[in-house]
Amino acid sequence: MPDIVSSGSALLLWAMIAYIIGSIPFGLILARVMGLGNLRDIGSGNIGATNVLRTGSKKAAALTLLLDGGKGVVVVLLARAYADADAAQIAAFAVMIGHCFPVWLKFRGGKGVATFLGLLYGLAWPIGIAACLSWLVTALMFRFSSLAALVAAASTMVWAVVLGEPQVFILCAFLTALIFWRHAGNIRRLVDGTEGKIGKKN
């Protein structure tokens, strides 16, 4: 019984750590520090790299992308190094929840794509690479960032099977569902033909 309690406490601790790290709104912070304005008043109002790019600063957008993805990698690797594989998966889920629903922003966070790709690198790097390539190919073909994100997310379940990483399949399924939900507005615009393309101002 003590081992079970101890294990449960450790998982809860890693979930809390991951949530806090995940909820750091790097895009919002960078925009303010670099004098780009309040992201909530720009474009879609989202705190992710795509909306940061609408400020006209490619540097800020690139930094946001790296930091949002980086927190996913770091949290998972730390949990795996100092705990175990179960803690890594819990941390992966929690860092994603933190990014999408940060308590300091009244639970109005990002859509989670960069963080999702980042945590995949920490959990199973071949899937992370394959998902990024799926995003890139889709983006180059269709020029829709949102469509590329949806395809990349959905592809993770396929890659988990193809690349022999079944232990992350269920997590990928849950997080893919979350990303689709967070992109509900984008999906409607894609269907309506009103979604903005990469490189064009909305």
User: pLDDT tens digits for 149-160?
Assistant: 999 999 999 999
Based on C-alpha coordinates, what's the Rg of the chain? 17
Kindly state whether residue 67 falls inside one of the protein's structural domains.
Answer: yes
- Say what the pTM is: 0.92
Q: Mean pLDDT throughout 10-28?
A: 96
Give the confidence band of 1 by pLDDT, cuts at 50, 70, 90: very low
Kindly state whether residue 173 falls inside one of the protein's structural domains.
Answer: yes
Q: Mean pLDDT throughout 10-37?
A: 95
How many domains does the structure of the chain reveal?
Answer: 1
Supply the range of the domain harboring residue 140.
2-192
Kindly state whether residue 199 falls inside one of the protein's structural domains.
Answer: no
Kindly state whether residue 86 falls inside one of the protein's structural domains.
Answer: yes
Kindly state whether residue 13 falls inside one of the protein's structural domains.
Answer: yes
Kindly state whether residue 198 falls inside one of the protein's structural domains.
Answer: no
Kindly state whether residue 47 falls inside one of the protein's structural domains.
Answer: yes
Kindly state whether residue 197 falls inside one of the protein's structural domains.
Answer: no
pLDDT of residue 200: 66
